[in-house]
Amino acid sequence: MELSEIGTMFQNVSKIRGRDPDMSLLPTLAEMVSRARADLRMGLPVMIGGYLTAAVETLTADRLAAMRALGQPVIVLTERRASTLKARAYDGGLARVDLPGDADLTWLRDLADPANDLRHPMKGPLFTQRQGDTTAHRASLALAKSAQLLPATLMVPAPPLPDLTQLPDQPLLAQLTQEAAMAPVAAARLPLLSAERSRLHIFRPDDGGAEHYAIEIGDPPRDSDVLTRLHSACFTGDVLGSLKCDCGPQLHAALNAMGQAGAGVLLYLNQEGRGIGLANKMRAYDLQNQGFDTVEANHRLGFEDDERDFRIGAALLKRLGFSSARLMTNNPRKVAMLEGHDIRVTQRVPLITPRNRFNTDYLDTKAEKSGHLL
């Protein structure tokens, strides 16, 4: 669906309702996408282009039957998941698998979720499609990921259904890759153990995504290369003190260093599990208990190694008025990203924390596969 058609669609809706609303009261594309995320998480299908689309993870048996009644559905998987399942991905990054006539909800869920891969390895033969436009299918996976669901959807061509969220495929894809604008919402003084002179700032993106935080220690001059940490949320490490990763110790080491220096900015980005969300991170941990490393586990779930959008860090620093940083990290990608988005990194400050028997393999994998300097 073209952008111009969205306007027509809205006009039709207003005609149905028998009034002529001010267009500014109707949802924008960004708002429709945010609504669609919530729909998929609840198990409600959405329309993407000409396809009725449901997330496999939240699909119910009734809705599976109803989708089958409309035609031949396809299961859309990322190439990562497809390669684990030995399904051919002809579409560059994704595979469209024909839903077999006898497949039930359990079969479908096992296709999306690798939890039982080792127990029931054979899912096939899987027949994948190779012709036609895949824009809507690509958009469906991007939407599922942004809803922090498993990247697996069920799609079937269908006429528009009233009351379902309707999204145009190409604009949806563009919207999901666009950088969100960050608005400051509130800030207040917050004395910390590591630094009594601290402020917590809350930022809200304009795309309905998660809020992010900045902890400003002291009063760093805006023209200085401020001591900076980009920290990604880790509920297990930051809050529970998990021994499986280095997040908790890194968080506190960074705050302590800033406290001692008397100035710094710690950006707390709500990108749990390298952007896949806590539920998927726990799925990844379950796979790690089955013997896969942190990168392999992400791939088996259908994700890339790292699904974070690091542009957010640069956007927040700029919002706070900084243009250069001394960055506390072992991850060269964070340095490259900031430099690529107009933040000069004058120094990389290593942030090495102690190893233990639960995190040592994880740290080795970060060094070997993700390029961390440990």
Which residues are identified as catalytic?
306, 308
Q: Does 67 bind ligand GTP (CB under 6 A)?
A: no
C-alpha to C-alpha distances, 196 to 192, 203, 239, 253, 285, nearest whole angstrom? 5, 22, 20, 16, 36
Cα Rg of the chain (Å, integer): 23
Q: Does 82 bind ligand GTP (CB under 6 A)?
A: no
Q: Which range touches Zn ion (CB under 5 A), out of 145-153, 215-223, 236-244, 336-344?
A: 236-244
* C-beta separation of 253 from 231 below 8 A: no
Q: Does 247 bind Zn ion (CB under 5 A)?
A: yes
C-alpha to C-alpha distances, 76 to 34, 38, 54, 114, nearest whole angstrom? 21, 19, 10, 15
Q: Taking Cα atoms as reference points, which of 372, 252, 267 lies closest to residue 313? A: 267
* Residue type at position 282: M
Q: Does 231 bind ligand GTP (CB under 6 A)?
A: yes
Minimum distance of ligand GTP from residue 195's CB (angstroms)? 20
CB closer to ligand GTP, 34 vs 365: 365
Q: Does 81 bind ligand GTP (CB under 6 A)?
A: no
What per-residue string of b and e applies to 88-114 under the rule 16 or more CB within 10 Å gives b? ebebeebbbbebeeebeeeebbbbbbb
* Residues between 299 and 358 with contacts to ligand GTP, criterion CB under 6 A: 329-331, 334, 351
Beta bridge partners of 213: 202, 268
Minimum distance of ligand GTP from residue 81's CB (angstroms)? 15
Interface with Zn ion (CB under 5 A), residue from 234, 253, 287, 325: 234
Residues interacting with Zn ion, by CB under 5 A?
Answer: 234, 237, 245, 247
Which residues are at the interface with ligand GTP (CB under 6 A)? 231-234, 245, 247, 250, 271-274, 276, 281, 284, 294, 298, 329-331, 334, 351, 372
Q: Which residues are annotated as a binding site for GTP?
A: 229-233, 250, 272-274, 294, 329, 334
